[in-house]
Structure 1
């Protein structure tokens, strides 16, 4: 994907060509996201596309996970620093967008009044314009696509429209990648439990139902995930101490 394909032209004979070119590249992105094998690879493709499709200097994705936002992909360490500042201070547009479904545009960090400490920090890092767009599914907001520019008032209405389209593609892709990873983990867990049950059946001459009950009891007594109990038995040939 080349930057020239997204450059603006004056309204006229080239406008339709530019729009069709952008649509074609979004179609290619959709195929690329479909072919990615995991959340990390998916969001990395999204932020790299953002650099080519929009007038941004940096881009990043923060995802909502247990324990707080995760930062799986950034195009520059500056973005990770901006995200971390907001996570630690609980101040800034990322926090607001992660809790809602509406995007936030900061046209110039030099004049931003809503989050003064955040604005000062971001401006110190050389960023003047920020656009945070939610990644949403039917279940709510699952993350934020952050777009950054070293120039003030860098994003026009076309940039915002493209950012929202990109966010919709990313939302679906991330949700699918997470589902695939969860399914793979579940399959892996079943295999581990099956192996552990086999060890117990052979050692103590019990049937499968009894072996599973033993694993489940140790899981409950030690407040350990069933998968981890099985893994410990496979690795050490011992059950965890209750």
Structure 2
């Protein structure tokens, strides 16, 4: 290999390194989960030269389509979520990467594959967003799609896994920060509601909190929601 080839390869490596460094910075600076996921999807398109990508996350009660590049990806996800079957579901449950080289030839999910092929998708690469806590199940999946058969090689898989690791950490951090922010907001709301009760009924803080808690339990309503209703209406829920 001559010097010009070495220089060319070095330039490509440096470009990839710059790309992932920029990704790390953007994910760190993203203000929330939605912005974090959007950044991951856009970098996936850029790094792998794709036109279709998306992310699905495990919500508290159901799967959440966090980001899609277009209606094709939305349909790919919808077909799997409704039937609870497909590479997305397998990746979520097992924490394993699933590669479909050609939807015309893959027989693991034939009905789904036929419908996806009709949408113009030939290659599929679903990569788990791992929690890192030892569990097999994933917190989400980065889905990559191509209209060309056998579009994903070993290098593409390696890049996809790097993106997924960045995304996993960023999503975990963003979710934690959102949870902490919600907890702070809840404490503020409860404090304001307690102040209203203390002034109106001339009770102390302990008694005001006990009133809110009782209404929360009796109406099967979250404490913060009881507090919010009292603040908005100046009335406790019936």
Q: Given the two structures, how large is their TM-score scaled by the length of structure 2?
A: 0.95
Moved more, 218-227 or 12-21: 12-21
Return the match for 1:192 from 163, 186, 189.
189
- Aligned twin of 1:107: 101
Residue equivalent to 1:146: 143
- How far residue 185 of structure 1 moved from its aligned partner, in angstroms, is 0.7
The equivalent residue for 1:85 is: 79
Question: What does 1:3-22 align with in structure 2 at a 5 Å threshold?
Answer: 12-22=6-16
Residues 1:157 and 2:154 aligned together: yes
Question: How many matched pairs?
Answer: 232
| Cα deviation 1:79-105 (Å, max 9, x = unaligned) | 111111100001100000011221000
Return the alpha-carbon distance in structure 1 between the equivalents of residues 26 and 228 of structure 2.
35
Q: CA deviation at 1:66?
A: 2.2
1:203-242 matches, cutoff 5 A: 203-241=200-238
Select 1:181's aligned residue among 178, 183, 207: 178
Match of 2:19 in 1: 25
Corresponding residue SS for 1:137: coil
Task: Tell me if 1:41 matches 2:14.
Answer: no
Q: Deviations over 1:177-213 (max 9, x none)?
A: 1011111111111111001000000000000011001
> How many angstroms apart in 1 are the aligned matches of 2:106 and 2:51?
19
Please, which runs of 5 or more residues in structure 1 have no aligned partner?
1-9
Offset at residue 56 of structure 1 (A) = 2.4
Q: CA RMSD in A?
A: 1.3
Which whole-Å deviations, capped at 9, do the CAs of 1:49-68 have from their partners, x for residues lacking one? 11110042200000001222
The answer to which of 29-38 and 19-28 deviates more is: 19-28
Per-residue CA distance 1:14-54 (angstroms, 9 max, x = gap)? 12221121012101110010000000000001001111100
User: 2: distance between equivalents of 1:100 and 1:19?
Assistant: 32
**1:72 counterpart SS class:** strand
